[in-house]
Amino acid sequence: MKIITIEEEAWQQLNSRINAIADYLKRQEDKSYDDLWLNNHEVCQYLHISEKTLWRMRTKGEIAYSKIYGQYFYTIGAIRDMLKANAIQSSDEFVQELMVKGKSYIEKGRKLKTDKK
């Protein structure tokens, strides 16, 4: 076994760079789900609301959506933005927990390609 020694300042610089890379990768991972599209049924199950409630939110302009051939679609990012805008008590921990639950729900419900080309 070889022992390698470096100066404390060099170690701190290396450690801070590794942490910066880790933070960057975490941010990139979270945003990968923002552009994922969900239909009415998936959003209602995800938020535990009825289709009537989702319709009301659409007509009031509370949530962004797209309509294609009579079907409505929503992005995870639009849902998160709507929840943040209407949150009475908003904390980063709550949003992170919600995103983890949402990712788990989506991954169980359908197979996603994780690598983008």
Q: What's the pLDDT at 58?
A: 92
Please, what is the angle between helix 92-109 and helix 40-47, to 10°?
130
Domain contains 47: yes
* pLDDT tens by residue, 29-40: 555 677 788 899
Domain contains 114: no
Q: Quick check: 74 and 38 in contact, CB under 8 A?
A: yes
Residue 42 tokens read as 């998936």
Number of domains the chain is built from? 1
Residue 68 tokens read as 């294609």
Q: Which domain holds residue 58?
A: 33-109
| Secondary structure (3-state) at 94 | helix
* pLDDT tens by residue, 67-107: 999 999 998 888 888 888 876 655 677 777 777 777 777 77
Domain contains 61: yes
> Tokens 């990012």 belong to which residue?
77
Local confidence band at 117 (pLDDT 50, 70, 90 cut-offs): very low
Domain contains 3: no
Q: What's the pLDDT at 115?
A: 46
What Cα–Cα distance (Å) separates residue 77 from each residue in 19, 44, 57, 64? Answer: 26, 15, 16, 9
